[in-house]
Every structure is written in structure tokens, then in C-alpha cells.
């Protein structure tokens, strides 16, 4: 039997106020994805990328939400979606971490995390979410860091 995970989001930023690494860096604000009380950003922080949700233009935020709610497929990755992106610009050309997202009835599955463009497997997951919890959490990311 699969363990059902709980997804929530919270506003976060790349650096804490006292972090010396923030000097000269962009302190991107974003919607952190919290899985069973653990920050996905912190789990993958060593890759120096941030979650793609909650920041950027209105159009970009709505597109990312549509990807995660499986309303729209990514233009060239199909069932894979960028989940962490470049903290400076969010552009996929800079590299990103992707995840395969599937839905089986009322359960959403995140699995097969990879660091793109070198196709390196990242050993976390899979995560299973009830649709109602998942849909609310993903929709709640809109505008977390405002609209840029």
C-alpha cells in the first residue's frame, strides 16, 4: 500500500536575512513545496535551483499551475515538468530539475526526479498526494511572491 503524502506551500526565499551567500546573489522569493512537513527546496538545495511556482509573470505562473494540475502538457517533455529552475531567471535553458507527474484516479504521483540537461537521476520520491489536497496546494501558489 502506498503512503499518501501531504502537500502544502509556504512563501520562502533563497537566502535568510543573515546568510552571507546572499551578497551579490538574487534572493528569489517563491512558493516552497512542503511535503509531509519537509521543504522540497531544502531537500534539493545543493543543486542551487528554486521551485518554479509562485513567482514570475502572471502568464508564467498560470502556465506552471496548469502543468502541475495536468491541464496542459509541457511543449517538449510531455509528462515531465520543471519543478525547480534557475533562481535568477527561471529559464529552462539554464538547467532545471524535472519530475514525472501522473494521476491515477484521485491520486497524483511525483516520481523520477532528474537534473536536466545532463539527465542525472535524483534519488527522492516517489510522492503520492490526494487530488483535493494537491489541487488546493498548487492553486495556492499563485502570486506567492507577487507578479513580476
Check whether 20 has a pLDDT greater than 80: no
Strands (E), 4-148: 7-13, 29-35, 38-39, 50-51, 80-85, 96-104, 107-116, 120-121, 127-130
C-alpha count within 13 angstroms, C-beta hemisphere, residue 2: 14
Tens of pLDDT, residue by residue over 47-86, are 999 999 999 999 999 999 999 999 999 888 888 999 999 9
User: In this structure, what C-alpha cell is assigned to residue 122?
Assistant: 535524483
Q: What is the mean pLDDT of the chain?
A: 91
Give the per-residue pLDDT at 17: 67
pTM: 0.90
Strand partners, 60: none
Does residue 18 carry a pLDDT above 70? no
For residue 130, what pLDDT is reported?
98
Amino acid at each position: 500500500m502506498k503512503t499518501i503524502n501531504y502537500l502544502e506551500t509556504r512563501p520562502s526565499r533563497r537566502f535568510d536575512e543573515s546568510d552571507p551567500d546572499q551578497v551579490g546573489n538574487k534572493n528569489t522569493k517563491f512558493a516552497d513545496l512542503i511535503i509531509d512537513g519537509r521543504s522540497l527546496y531544502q531537500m534539493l538545495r545543493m543543486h542551487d535551483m528554486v521551485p518554479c511556482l509562485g513567482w514570475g509573470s502572471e502568464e508564467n505562473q498560470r502556465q506552471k499551475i496548469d502543468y502541475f494540475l495536468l491541464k496542459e502538457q509541457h511543449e517538449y517533455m510531455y509528462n515531465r515538468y520543471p519543478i525547480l529552475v534557475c533562481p535568477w531567471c527561471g529559464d529552462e535553458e539554464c538547467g532545471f530539475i524535472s519530475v514525472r507527474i501522473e494521476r491515477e484516479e484521485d491520486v497524483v504521483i511525483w516520481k523520477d526526479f532528474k537534473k536536466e540537461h545532463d539527465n542525472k537521476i535524483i534519488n527522492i520520491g516517489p510522492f503520492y498526494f490526494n487530488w483535493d489536497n494537491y489541487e488546493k496546494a498548487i492553486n495556492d501558489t499563485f502570486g506567492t511572491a507577487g507578479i513580476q
